[in-house]
């Protein structure tokens, strides 16, 4: 498990350096020496603070999950503004950012990381569940505002969006993310999925 770091700036310096190496050279290039050289710091710092390379990479992945959750948290306040399909599409596309694609490739290339990441996530670190919740909350608000069919099952739609994007990330089976996400979102929200029952509009 990752150890604590007294210098937060060093932590971010190492993470940023690792992401640059990952995007430039691929997951196979992520060695402790390559990361610390990119960060312009002593080679032993990574191991002294994180225990080993896998501990560092686990923390790197968890950080990206947290950032995704923070981005998704900005979606619910957008209810009632713009276009519903456009808002959801942009939220889904944040999962296709280069850094996220790089992290997905890292998880694929190093399967042993999965268990370590899951252990950290089980302790309460934010990730895809929080992204799903934010999308569901946004859909609830839009439904209450009358901009979505009353039968829309917000939880199911949110899960479908996040699950599909996650699948595409892990398989790499997409050449035009925007077209795919837009098509998915439009299919899910323009007709509405069967839900548990209508939600009364807010009292004004």
With a pLDDT cut of 90, the percent of the chain lying above it is 55
To the nearest 10°, report the CA torsion of 194, 195, 200, 204: -80
Residue 121: C-alpha distances to residues 11, 34, 106, 115, 197 (Å): 19, 27, 17, 10, 33
> Containing H/E element for 93?
helix 84-93
**Is residue 97 scored above 50 in pLDDT?**
yes
**Is residue 198 scored above 80 in pLDDT?**
no
Alpha-carbon span 40 to 75, nearest angstrom: 37
- Predicted TM-score of the model (pTM): 0.80
Alpha-carbon span 197 to 200, nearest angstrom: 10
To the nearest 10°, report the CA torsion of 194, 200, 201, 202: -140
**Is residue 200 scored above 80 in pLDDT?**
no
Question: Largest alpha-carbon pair distance within the chain?
Answer: 61
Band of residue 173 on the pLDDT scale cut at 50, 70, 90? low
**Is residue 193 scored above 50 in pLDDT?**
no
35-89 confidence digits (pLDDT tens): 999 999 988 889 888 889 999 999 999 999 999 999 999 999 999 999 999 999 9
**Residues with Cβ < 8 Å from 85, sequence gap 6 or more?**
182, 185, 186, 189, 190
Alpha-carbon span 109 to 22, nearest angstrom: 11
The DSSP 8-state label assigned to residue 200 in this structure reads P
Buried b (16+ CB within 10 A) or exposed e, 2-12: beebeeeeebe
Contact between residue 127 and residue 69 where contact means Cβ atoms under 8 Å apart? yes
* pLDDT value, residue 96: 84
Answer positive or negative: Cα dihedral of 35, 39, 44, 46.
negative
**Is residue 5 scored above 70 in pLDDT?**
no
């Amino acid at each position: 498990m990752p150890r604590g770091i007294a210098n937060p700036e060093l932590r971010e310096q190492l993470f940023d350096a690792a992401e640059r190496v990952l995007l430039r050279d691929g997951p196979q290039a992520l060695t402790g020496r390559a990361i610390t050289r990119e960060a312009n710091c002593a080679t032993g710092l990574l191991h002294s603070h994180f225990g080993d390379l896998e501990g560092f990479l686990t923390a790197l992945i968890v950080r990206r999950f947290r950032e995704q959750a923070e981005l998704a948290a900005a979606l619910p306040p957008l209810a009632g503004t713009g276009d519903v399909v456009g808002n959801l599409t942009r939220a889904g596309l944040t999962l296709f950012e280069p850094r996220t694609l790089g992290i997905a490739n890292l998880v694929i290339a190093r399967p042993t990381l999965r268990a370590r990441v899951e252990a950290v996530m089980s302790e309460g670190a934010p990730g895809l569940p929080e992204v799903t919740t934010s999308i569901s909350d946004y859909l609830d608000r839009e439904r209450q505002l009358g901009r979505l069919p009353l039968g829309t099952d917000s939880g199911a739609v949110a899960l479908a969006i996040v699950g599909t994007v996650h699948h595409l990330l892990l398989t790499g089976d997409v050449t035009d993310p925007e077209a795919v996400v837009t098509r998915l979102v439009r299919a899910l929200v323009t007709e509405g999925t069967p839900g548990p029952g209508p939600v009364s509009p807010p009292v004004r």
